[in-house]
Amino acid sequence: MKDVNVGICGLGTVGGGTFNVLTRNASLITGRTGFNLRIARVATRTPRNDIDLGDIPFSTDIFDVVNDPSVDVVVELIGGYETARELVLAAIRNGKHVVTANKALIAVHGNEIFEAAAKQNVIVSYEAGVAGGIPVIKAVREGMAANRVDWIAGIINGTGNYILTEMRAGREFAEVLKEAQDLGYAEADPTFDVEGIDAAHKLTILASAGFGVPLQFEKAYTEGISEITPYDIAHAEILGYRIKHLGIARRRDEGIELRVHPTLVPRSHLIAQVDGVLNAVLVDGDAVGQTMYYGPGAGDEATASAVIADIIDAARSVAAKSNQRVPYLGFEPAAMEDLPVLPMEDVQSAYYLRIQALDRPGVLAKVASILSEHGINIESIMQKESELKDGRIPVIILTHTVQERQINRAIEELEALSDIDEKVVRIRAENFN
């Protein structure tokens, strides 16, 4: 029975989980694949006393792994950008297959990495980088290969989802963020999570795999959740919606939408029921319709599950001495389309608006007139008489779908009215029809 040699770079949370699952389930994996996945070398800058490497060669220099001629598959789990990029490109030059859980690396440098891998005819896999243990990349690239994917929408950052879930109880953002940090869900610097950068990395990859377009992370629109209030969460619920921090990619004739922002979703929809640190991704295909992939988006062994599935795919190629592989982004290079990412002004969405109006006759008529002049139809409106205070009254409006530029112009005019106090609060809404 053939041995396939694996080298692990990085022994942090995911690296440790990968080592432990590979070791614990070695015989199970052999039974399913017909070959032995052998950990041939481990390198990490910070050794771990809680993991027994036995007689496996160990180094603090991660490049020892890619330069070891016995290693068939290099597993990059160090994170970050430049060192990880150098490591992966060196492994490719040495003719080794690569598995990574590094979404930032793929989103930013993936085009370069895949081009280099294609020249060397090696596999580069990244399932664990997008939604932790959820095998959504495999589902999109392989399970939905017969479909034209029209849109993808997902809760793809567990920290943000945990915060918004806890805020439904009336708690403020800052309080819940501190709790998430104490629990280890959020970093000391939570910017990537709460401002949507982490989700934009993942959405960029999903959009490329779904639509067959180059990776274009720098063009993704990101908006965080730090301005969301318990008040708006509660009133979204009254309207039949729940606020989720979504990544949304939609294919249109003129290009693709690529955006991350707080979003009202119907409370009855499955994705609205995904709470806490869990992730979920909706994919809409022309043949299959809507499908949803749900589960843990992070964690040591959950993410290791996806890492090892990728290792097994690469190992099958080694064991079979086959050059056949799934295209890196699901499409052969000649079939990739250079569709532009549309500016946010061209995005189409429904909108939740909260307006702080002075309690004067005719104010609602002025608001409705401005919206109408910009081609914006109102689906529902609430005037909160019970919250009249200091001569000001909240007005909450839910619109039908319009272009973002229409709502931008309308908000500009609304805020210029002497009858309107404070900035207009705007949150996008999606019904997934």
Active site residue ranges: 202
Does the annotation list 12 as a binding residue? yes
> 3-class secondary structure for 301-324?
HHHHHHHHHHHHHHHHHHHHCCCC
Does the annotation list 194 as a binding residue? no
Does the annotation list 13 as a binding residue? yes
Q: Which helix (H) or strand (E) holds 26?
A: helix 26-33
Give the CB-side neighbour count of residue 348, counting CA atoms within 13 A. 13
Does the annotation list 9 as a binding residue? yes
Cβ atoms 283, 142 nearer than 8 A: no
Q: Which residues pair with 411 in a beta bridge?
A: none
Does the annotation list 187 as a binding residue? yes
The separation between CA 25 and the C-alpha centre of its own chain, rounded to angstroms, equals: 29
Residue partners of 99: CB distance under 8 A and separation at least 6: 73, 74, 75, 76, 124, 125, 126, 128, 307, 310, 311, 314
Q: Is 336 left (phi over 0), alpha (psi -120 to 50) or beta?
A: beta
Residue partners of 103: CB distance under 8 A and separation at least 6: 126, 129, 130, 198, 201, 202, 205
The separation between CA 37 and the C-alpha centre of its own chain, rounded to angstroms, equals: 30
Strand pairing report for 420-429 and 348-358? antiparallel
Number of Cβ within a 10 Å radius of residue 96: 25
Cβ atoms 350, 400 nearer than 8 A: yes
With b for 16 or more beta-carbon neighbours within 10 A and e for fewer, the 247-264 pattern comes to: bbbbbeeebbbbbbbbbb
With b for 16 or more beta-carbon neighbours within 10 A and e for fewer, the 187-199 pattern comes to: eeebebbbbbbbb
Does the annotation list 86 as a binding residue? no
Cβ atoms 227, 312 nearer than 8 A: no
Beta strand spans in 146-229 (E): 149-155, 221-222
Does the annotation list 14 as a binding residue? yes
Does the annotation list 34 as a binding residue? no
d(CA 231, CA 422): 16
Binding site for L-homoserine, by residue number, is 187
Binding site for NADPH, by residue number, is 103
Binding site for NADP(+), by residue number, is 9-16
Binding site, by residue number, is 9-16, 103, 187
